[in-house]
Amino acid sequence: MTERTSAAVRYCANSQEARDPLGTLQQDMHRIAKRMMHDMDYQIEVEGETFLQKLKLRTRNDLFLFYKECLVNISRHSGATQFSVHFDADARRTQLIIQDNGQGYIAKLGEDVPPSLKRRAQLMHAQLELTQPENGGTRITLTLKHPKFSFISQ
């Protein structure tokens, strides 16, 4: 467990030093899905790559860590066999939608979303919504609105 945790920390630290934001973010999303969700079917759709490329490095890293936390929750708690990711960015906002076909989120008293996801969304000043579609599963929608002049790459 210690070795796996150390490897995960090194991986995250290395991803923060990446200089090619477009390829790295999209490739990392696929790579971590293959690594963590190897027994599940999944689909990742990305729109607005030009805008993703212009996001600040910290914002890209925060989005990646939020995505990774969602995958952890799906793999540990949902009982899902498949999931999909829709990542969309434009000049006004970036939106990440992750949906699985599992049992749905079972909230503890006073919780509307898992605390780990709520904390990550708050750190980004993003809106977070968790819904349970009629056909089952869970849909997590993270929306990050961009203030004027926020697209400055580092």
pTM over 0.75? The answer is yes
Query: For residue 154, which amino acid is it?
Result: Q
Residues ≥6 apart with Cβ < 8 Å to 29 = 44, 46, 64, 67, 85, 87
Domain borders along the chain are 2-145
Ranking 70-74, 77-81, 107-111 by mean pLDDT, the lowest is: 107-111
pLDDT score for 19: 45
For the beta sheet containing 41-47, the strands, ordered from the edge strand earlier in sequence to the opposite edge, are 41-47, 82-89, 93-100, 138-145, 127-131
Q: Which fold has domain 2-145?
A: Heat Shock Protein 90 (3.30.565)
pLDDT score for 92: 92
| Phi, psi angle pair for 82, to nearest 5° | -155, 160
| Phi, psi angle pair for 90, to nearest 5° | -145, -175
